Every structure is written in C-alpha cells, then in structure tokens.
C-alpha cells in the first residue's frame, strides 16, 4: 500500500511540474513588431537571425524565413513557429532561462 501511495504521489508531482509550461504556452503567439525596441539586449546573432531579450519577452529579427523553437530549461516546448522575415516578439509565460533553437544554432537566454 505504501508503494502505491508513493507511486501516485510521484505521478501527481510530475504532472504538476509538467503542466504549467504547456498550459501557459497555449494561446501565446508571436507578434510582428513595426519597429525595433531600443531597450532590447542582443543575446545571440548568427547568419540572418538575431535573438534579443527585453523584460518578459524574446525578440527575433530575421531577414529570412526561419523555424524557431523555444524551450524551458527543463526541455518543455513553449513555442514552435515558422517566422517570416521581420521583427517578431513573444511574451514569455514566466521570467527564467529559455533555450532558443533554429536550424542553424541554439542559444540560452534569460528573460
């Protein structure tokens, strides 16, 4: 009986740890920006893609169509999107460290 309780408790904790990022990611969308934000900090730049951070958001400047994925530090997907050329911003569900991945490179950003 103790083993069953321990298993159920472990499953409940795992579910609680995994749920927030997936729920928070739902409904979040990249928004195209008309102008660049002057308060943004460059986190990484390669080829035709520049990743910037600003309080509570990740900004992507790209001159080409790019597939971009954002993960939590625990590996949970927050966003997976193909962005057309331009400046795009994604409001993050929470402050923290995220992994930004494109076909060419991967970087770590703090928001």
Neighbours of 62 (CB within 10 A): 19
Mind listing the pLDDT tens digit for each residue in 45-103?
988 999 999 999 999 999 999 999 999 999 999 999 999 999 999 999 899 999 999 98
Question: Quick one: average pLDDT of 2-14?
Answer: 66
Count how many Cα atoms sit within 13 Å of the Cα of residue 2 in the half-sphere of its side chain. 0
Neighbours of 63 (CB within 10 A): 11
H or E element, residue 102 = none
List the CATH number of the domain containing 36: 2.60.40.3080
| Number of domain units in the chain | 1
Residue 88's Cβ-count burial label (10 Å; 0-12, 13-18, 19+) is: buried
3-state SS class at 39: coil
| Structural domain range at position 16 | 2-110
Q: Percentage helix, strand, coil, to 5, in the chain? A: 20, 45, 30
Name the pTM for this structure. Answer: 0.73
């Amino acid at each position: 009986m103790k083993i069953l309780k321990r298993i159920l408790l472990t499953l409940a904790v795992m579910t609680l740890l995994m749920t927030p990022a997936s729920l928070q990611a739902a409904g979040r969308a990249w928004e195209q920006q008309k102008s660049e934000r002057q308060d943004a900090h460059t986190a990484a730049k390669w080829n035709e893609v520049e990743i910037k951070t600003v309080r509570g958001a990740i900004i992507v400047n790209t001159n080409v169509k790019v597939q971009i994925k954002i993960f939590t530090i625990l590996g949970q997907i927050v966003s997976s999107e193909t962005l057309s050329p331009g400046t795009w911003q994604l409001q993050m569900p929470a402050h923290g460290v995220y992994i930004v991945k494109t076909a060419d490179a991967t970087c770590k950003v703090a928001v």
